[in-house]
Amino acid sequence: MAVAHTLSLHNISKYYGKLAAVDDVSMTIERGQFLTLLGPSGSGKTTVLMSIAGFVEPSAGEIRVDGRPITHLPPEKRNFGMVFQGYALFPHLTVADNVAFPLTVRGRPAAEKAEKVKAALDLVQLGTLADRLPRQLSGGQQQRVALARALVFEPDILLLDEPLSALDKKLRAGLQWELRALHRRVGTTFIYVTHDQEEALSMSDEIAIIRNGKIVQKGKPRELYDRPVSHFIADFLGESNFLAAEAGEASGDGFAYRAGGSSFRQAGARPAEARVLVALRPAKIRISTAEPTDAVNRIAGTIKSWSYRGNEFHFLVGTALGDMNVSQPTWRARVEPEEGLGVWLAWDPDASVVQRELV
């Protein structure tokens, strides 16, 4: 469909009085990417997206498309599509007329409109519902109409602000797959805003995590999940156990550290500072009743509580390192869960990551 463009933000800030809703954000979004802006509520996601769209004027900085500044260009001159959480369809217009709207305001001839509306509706698999009114559609179908409307004029970039958050969980999962597939089909840059970690991890080529108006880490979903640069990110992108540790001697391809009165090993370079925080995902810990004598890192503990979550067990295990969260696929569990049961926890030196930043 449309030709994708490279978008870049250069030191963008937006102040409301003294509040920096967006605080010195710079990033490049390569053409054709699916980039997700992920952050808690109030972190500045919508303000960044609205600055890109042209509805919010940045207090400082520059926005460029293929190197050309567009910071002060009005929204209608940017040729970006937008989809919001609310569907914002015209209730008195049919599906076809809703989708045709952007072409109508651009004064396109009827024949071209009919052809493009049909193509856009086929793209979101709504070809058979063209004559319905919005109220005759489900929430998921209405959001697909909004998508078709945002894509019908072949935008250079599609901006999506929490488009699935009004839908129930099952429907949302279905539309996540569809949006991914749609992105591959049209090849346009998608900039997607969400506060939902799982959604971000499953859909994106790249994720930029935003906190207090600042981008704190940007990378591929697996990089962010496996190598979070801060406590905040390790915690925000799923759960982690944090071990306050003292780094020791470097040797081989890693180094030793002490925590809770015992010694453990960590893969990778020894950090410059001695006091470190080791982050360990619950799913990367093995649990057993027998001592795993061949495990490099192991510690004894007691099951304090546990829960069954269908495909996995969740354990809270009291140890000399403090309470540890452990999750285990039910099919692989080597422990019959029971409160008060003595267990062993084990993990590999490369299962954990050392946090560079103590925040």
Ligand X SMILES: Nc1ncnc2c1ncn2[C@@H]1O[C@H](COP(=O)(O)OP(=O)(O)O)[C@@H](O)[C@H]1O
The window from 38-46, 69-77, 103-111, 114-122 that contacts Mg ion (CB under 5 A) reads: 38-46
Residue 298 · residue 286 · CB < 8 Å: no
The partner residues of 288 in beta bridges, in order of sequence, read 344
Count Cβ atoms within 10 A of the Cβ of residue 48 and give its class: 0-12 exposed, 13-18 middle, 19 or more buried. buried
Residue 21 touching ligand X (CB under 6 A): yes
Q: Which residue is nearest to Mg ion (CB)?
A: 46
Give the span between the Cα atoms of 334 and 327, in whole angstroms: 12
The window from 36-44, 118-126, 262-270, 313-321 that contacts ligand X (CB under 6 A) reads: 36-44
69 binds, among ligand X, Mg ion, none (CB under 5 to 8 A by kind): none
CB of 45 to Mg ion, least distance (A): 5
Helix (H, G, I), strand (E, B) or coil at 204: coil
21 binds, among ligand X, Mg ion, none (CB under 5 to 8 A by kind): ligand X
Residue 46 touching Mg ion (CB under 5 A): yes
The window from 14-22, 43-51, 111-119, 243-251 that contacts Mg ion (CB under 5 A) reads: 43-51
CB of 193 to Mg ion, least distance (A): 6
Nearer to ligand X, 40 or 268 (CB): 40
Nearer to ligand X, 40 or 139 (CB): 40
Residue 25 · residue 13 · CB < 8 Å: yes
Q: Which residue blocks in 227-269 are alpha helix, DSSP H?
A: 231-236
List b or e across 303-338, with b for residues whose CB sees 16 or more CB atoms inside 10 angstroms.
beebeeeeebbbbbbebebeebbbbbeeeeeebebe
Q: Which of 248, 64, 27, 37 is nearest to 163 (CA)?
A: 37
* Amino acid at the residue 223: E
Among 5, 45, 116, 270, binds ligand X (CB under 6 A): 45
Residue 16 touching ligand X (CB under 6 A): yes
The window from 15-23, 120-128, 291-299, 346-354 that contacts ligand X (CB under 6 A) reads: 15-23
Give the span between the Cα atoms of 342 and 344, in whole angstroms: 7
Among 34, 39, 211, 280, binds ligand X (CB under 6 A): 39
DSSP 8-state code for residue 166: T
Residue 27 · residue 215 · CB < 8 Å: yes
The window from 14-22, 114-122, 269-277, 294-302 that contacts ligand X (CB under 6 A) reads: 14-22
Supply the Cα-derived Rg of the chain in whole angstroms. Answer: 25
Residue 194 touching Mg ion (CB under 5 A): no
- Contact pattern for ligand X over residues 222 through 261, marking x by CB under 6 A: ----------------------------------------
39 binds, among ligand X, Mg ion, none (CB under 5 to 8 A by kind): ligand X
The window from 43-51, 74-82, 169-177, 351-359 that contacts ligand X (CB under 6 A) reads: 43-51
Residue 201 · residue 328 · CB < 8 Å: no
Residue 98 touching Mg ion (CB under 5 A): no
Give the span between the Cα atoms of 172 and 174, in whole angstroms: 5
Q: And the tokens for 185? A: 């089909």
Neighbour tally for 24: CB within 10 Å: 15
Residue 7 · residue 64 · CB < 8 Å: yes
Residue 46 touching ligand X (CB under 6 A): yes
Residues that contact Mg ion, how many (by CB under 5 A): 2
Nearer to Mg ion, 166 or 295 (CB): 166
Residue 163 touching ligand X (CB under 6 A): no
Q: Where along the sequence are the contacts to ligand X (CB under 6 A)?
A: 16, 19, 21, 39, 41-47
Q: Site residues (CB under 5 A) for Mg ion?
A: 45-46
